[in-house]
Homo-oligomer: A and B are copies of this chain.
Amino acid sequence: MVRARRKSEVDYAAAARQWAENNKDGRKPTMRDVAELAGVSKKTVSRVINDSPLVNEATRKGIQGLIKDIGYRPDPQARGLASRRSYLVGLITDNPTPQYVVNIQHGILDVLRKTGYELVVHPCDRKSDTFLDDARRFIEVQKLYGVILTPSVSEDERLAEIMRELGCAYIRIASIALDMERRMIVTNDRVGGREAAHHLAKLGHTRIALIAGRRSFRSSYERRAGFEEGLAEHGISVPPNYVLQGDYTFESGLALGSEILDLDSPPTAVFASNDEMAAGVLQALHVAGQTPPDALSVVGFDDFETATRVWPRLTTARTPARRIGRLAAERLFEFDDEGNELTGENETVPELIERDSTRRPRKAGSK
């Protein structure tokens, strides 16, 4: 029972003091320093910082204390070089909405901060013909621990294939499950579209237009499908001339907004597939001297900053971007290629936020 004494002549606290004295010049301690002070081999220290179970409890405690006292930090480069990995997480994005990207970043960093990993950002252009090569090089050269992908790059199968080939853990954020569960965070945009539809239907709208998002984004399809499904439940459908093709930019919303106004029999409401386009529609109305929501109810999607900056403030389906980032990062760290159960959530569902950009239609019994 009482063992411990074998070598615990070593007084870790004293060792720490000794270091403080002998190191007036402020050299950063290395693993070797720790090992010498503790009277053990580097390997044992290595085991301690890597939480190996093969270490005596007393030794572990002592070394941990020593490490703390002298402020030792393992060098990620050296660690990475020896173990052929790195302590970097990549974020590959090509999303046009800055607010989305920043929120995702914050969410990821919420998790990374506790881990000692760092986030390397990598915006890219999916249309560039060097896109795949660039991404591969990035991942390979940096030996990334893992990568988080946002729409629309997250939807690129060729990229996913590369990740697999390189054996790099990755999490894809997308609006449907494109991959094995452990590799996905799904933002259920379809539900968001449905909610938006219900909202407008309940208000009494029947003549409803739809502005679709950029074709290369799967969310564009999901949001639309959800919306049409939702309307269908109320026996409403969107006629072809009420379906407009946008690209998720404010400018497209602006242009399409005025197109809507010019229609022979304009709708009483529009669902724009994101806030930026919804903001564009609102602006088109203003430019035309009309007053939303009286002239036209507008529903957006995302609830990023823009939604509350415009007037009237947007009714919109919220995409909890920061939370999505957090989930993605958490999942990355419990990433598991052995196929064990994963614990965390992996789906977010948009919540409809009702604000001022929607109201009952005029004709259908507005007050």
What is A's interface to B at a CB cutoff of 8 Å?
Answer: 28, 73, 75-78, 80-81, 86, 88, 98-99, 101-103, 105-106, 109, 118-123, 137-138, 140-143, 250, 276, 279, 282-283, 286, 305-306, 308-313
Contact A310 B311 (CB under 8 A): yes
A347 to chain B, nearest CB (A): 25
Q: Are B308 and A250 in contact (CB under 8 A)?
A: yes
A26 (CB) vs chain B CBs: closest residue: B165
| A76 vs B86: C-alpha distance when bound (angstroms) | 10
Q: Which 4 A-B pairs have the closest CB atoms?
A: A98-B102, A286-B311, A77-B81, A279-B309
Complex alpha-carbon distance, A137 and B74, angstroms: 11
Known: A99-B99, A250-B309. A121 touches B137 (CB 8 A): no
10 contacts between A and B (CB under 8 A): A73-B140, A75-B81, A76-B141, A77-B143, A78-B81, A88-B120, A98-B98, A109-B123, A250-B305, A311-B311
Instruction: Write out the residue numbers on chain B whose beta carbons fall within 8 Å of the beta carbon of A142.
Output: 76, 118
Complex: how many Å from CA A140 to CA B74?
11
Is B309 within 8 A of A309, CB to CB?
yes
Residue of B nearest to A102 (CB): B98
Residues of B with C-beta under 8 A to A78: 81
A262 to chain B minimum Cβ distance, whole angstroms, is: 19
CA distance A318 to B305 in the complex (A): 20
Residues in B with CB closer than 8 Å to A120 are 88, 118-120
In the complex, besides A118-B122, A282-B311, 12 extra interface pairs with C-beta distance below 8 angstroms are A28-B140, A73-B137, A77-B77, A78-B81, A98-B305, A105-B123, A118-B138, A119-B121, A121-B121, A286-B312, A306-B309, A309-B309
- A119: chain B residues within 8 A (beta carbon): 120-121
| Smallest CB separation, A331 vs chain B (Å) | 20
A286 to B291, CA, bound (A): 11
User: Contact: B109 with A121, CB < 8 Å?
Assistant: yes
Which of B75, B86, B99, B310 contacts A310, CB < 8 Å? Answer: B310
- Set of chain B residues within 8 Å of A76, measured between Cβ atoms: 141-142
Q: If A142-B76, A306-B305 touch, does A98 touch B109 (CB 8 Å cutoff)?
A: no
A311 to B292, CA, bound (A): 12
| Contact indicator A283/B309 (Cβ below 8 Å) | yes
For A307, the closest partner residue in chain B by CB is B309
Residues of B within 8 A of A143 (CB): 77
A282 to B311 alpha-carbon distance, docked (Å): 9
Hey, which chain B residues are within 8 Å of A308, CB to CB? 250
Which B residues lie within 8 Å of A28 (CB)?
140
A283 to B77, CA, bound (A): 51
Q: Are B73 and A141 in contact (CB-based, < 8 A)?
A: yes
A138 to B73, CA, bound (A): 11
Q: Give the Cβ gap from A170 to chain B, nearest Cβ, in Å.
A: 17
